Amino acid sequence: MASSNPLDILIVNKDNSFGLTRDTSLLIAALASIGRSEGVATKGIRARPLLDWLFRRKQARTIIHIERAFPRWYSAADVNLLCPNQERFPRRHIGRLKNIDLVLAKSRHAEEIFRSLGVATAYVGFTSEDRLDETVPKNWRSFFHLAGGSTLKGTEDVIDLWSRHPEWPQLTLVQRDPHPKASGVANIRVVSGYITDADLKQLQNSCGIHLCPSRSEGWGHHLVEALSVGAVTVTTDGPPMNEHVTSDCGMLVACTRTEPRHLGTNYHVDVTALEQVVETLLTMDDTQKQALGAAARRRFLDIDTGFRERLAAALKPF
């Protein structure tokens, strides 16, 4: 790094090749869209050579910490911002917040949590990749569940429910390491291991109903991507899931119990309520589903546009 020009924004993250990597890419794109792309860099938390260089020269104006706060980076910039995931922010790290100048909250739920801890907080929201492909026809009786590599997507509830209803249409389950119970269910199509992005996008667009009964989310890319493709999106009636999806643009499933998860909460859906939602969708005509799908698409566009506007406002002082 020979340049003497300071970085405008340095994004510090843990590159996990999944959600956090996606968060960083989306944030970089959003910064570019609001005119803050010049002098933006991203480094993993163990990038020691860059860290030493920054300490010696104080060359970053602003650091945005992704998911958690990393104290070893505090002195490398004038301003430290945090874009956290509350369900993965340990209580033992609360003391780290005293050196954070502003929390960029992805949800109203996160805003309330971090503001209650006495740290300056701005609700900015977030966004997900727009996965819409209008050339792919939708099957409004086709169900889709994207579990990925997470254990918090409510996958077991979905599998158990489908195993009790062999008369239901096929469910396409995409999961990195398939749940052992899924293989014995005749009307579940398991897609596991490596899947190309093109194939995944095809599935997201062709399946008219996306089941996203998450127990906890920092943001929730799979359900916001479901909105983006104009699918009927079924999710948990607990924050932040029910901030993204309302009864106007999707279907909410009641919870039976909750439990703490770091600074967030796990919400367990009522499986009977989920069963009733599926039965309702099976009898709902395609016109009604198409209307919900169109509302879902509008909701995605509102989420995306609002995030960029609020991000620009929050970063203006920096």
Percent with pLDDT over 90 in the chain? 79
Helices assigned H by DSSP within 99-149:
108-116
Per-residue pLDDT for 291 more than 50? yes
Whole-angstrom CA distances from 128 to 14, 121, 188, 259 are: 18, 21, 27, 27
Averaged pLDDT, 173-197: 92
Q: How far is CA 157 from CA 215, 274, 307, in A?
A: 11, 9, 32
Comparing 31-45, 220-234, 245-259, 300-314, the range with the smallest average pLDDT is 31-45
Q: Are residues 290 and 146 in the same domain?
A: yes
Same domain, 104 and 148: no
Residue 62 lies in a domain: yes
Task: Tell me if 313 is assigned to some domain.
Answer: no
CA angle 179, 181, 183 (to 5 degrees): 85
pLDDT value at position 149? 79
The mean pLDDT of the chain is 92
Q: What is the pairing mode between strands 232-236 and 250-253?
A: parallel
The one-letter amino acid at 151: T
The CATH number assigned to the domain holding 270 equals 3.40.50.2000
Sorted by sequence, the CB contacts under 8 Å of residue 274 that are 6+ apart come out as 157, 158, 161, 213, 234, 253
- Stretch (H or E) spanning 297: helix 286-315
pLDDT of residue 14: 83
Same domain, 119 and 145: no
Are 213 and 86 in a shared domain?
no
Mean pLDDT of 221-250: 98
**Domain closes at, from 99, 123, 147:** 123
Three-class DSSP category at 3: coil
**161-216-165 Cα angle (round to 5):** 5
When pLDDT is averaged across residues 8-24 and rounded to a whole number, the result is: 84
The phi-psi region of residue 58 (left if phi > 0; otherwise alpha if psi is between -120 and 50; otherwise beta) is left
- pLDDT band of residue 60 (cuts 50, 70, 90) is confident
Between 75 and 67, whose confidence is greater? 67
More confident residue, 35 or 45: 35
**118 and 146 share one domain:** no
Please provide residue 7's backbone torsions phi and psi, each rounded to the nearest 5 degrees. -70, 140
Residue 7, pLDDT above cutoff 80: no
Segment holding 63, helix H or strand E: strand 60-67
Classify strands 7-13 and 60-67 as parallel, antiparallel or unpaired: parallel
Q: Are residues 33 and 96 located together in one domain of the fold?
A: yes
For residues 105 and 242, membership in a common domain is answered with no
Last residue of a domain, one of 91, 123, 155: 123
- 239 lies in some domain: yes
What's the Rg (C-alpha) of the chain? 21
Q: Does one domain contain both 74 and 210?
A: no
* Three-class secondary structure of residue 10 per DSSP: strand
In-domain check, residue 95: yes
pLDDT in tens, 82-133: 999 999 999 999 999 999 999 999 999 999 999 999 999 999 999 999 999 9
- 165, part of any domain: yes
Q: What does the pLDDT read at residue 20?
A: 82
Q: What pLDDT score was predicted for residue 1? A: 38
- Write down the pLDDT at residue 178: 84
Among 4-13, 30-39, 138-147, 236-245, where is mean pLDDT lowest?
Answer: 4-13
Q: How confident is the model at residue 55 (pLDDT cuts 50, 70, 90)?
A: low
Q: Closest Cα partner for 216 from 157, 183, 262, 160?
A: 262
Q: How confident is the model at residue 49, as a pLDDT?
A: 46
Q: Is the pLDDT of residue 159 over 70?
A: yes
CATH number, domain containing residue 13? 3.40.50
Mean pLDDT of 219-247: 97
Which of 123, 151, 173 lies at the terminal end of a domain, its last residue?
123
Same domain, residue pair 174 and 53: no
Of 36-40, 71-75, 94-98, 238-242, the poorest mean pLDDT is in 36-40
Which range marks the domain in which residue 38 is found? 7-123
Residue 102 lies in a domain: yes
The answer as to whether 311 is a domain residue is no
Mean pLDDT of 256-272: 97
110 and 217 housed in the same domain: no
Based on the structure, what is the number of domains in the chain? 2
Q: Indicate whether 140 pLDDT > 90.
A: yes
CB atoms within 10 A of CB 242: 18
Mean pLDDT of 282-308: 98
- Residues 182 and 58 occupy one common structural domain: no
List of residues 6+ apart from 95 with CB closer than 8 A: none
Phi-psi category of residue 154: left, alpha or beta, with phi > 0 → left and psi -120 to 50 → alpha:
left
pLDDT band of 75, cuts 50, 70, 90: confident
> What's the pLDDT at 176?
87
Report yes or no on 314 lying in a domain.
no
Q: What one-character-per-residue DSSP string does 153-200 give?
A: S-HHHHHHHHHT-TTSPPEEEEESS--TTGGG-TTEEEEES---HHHH
- Domain identity same for 161 and 106: no
Angle between helices 221-228 and 286-315 (to 10 degrees): 120
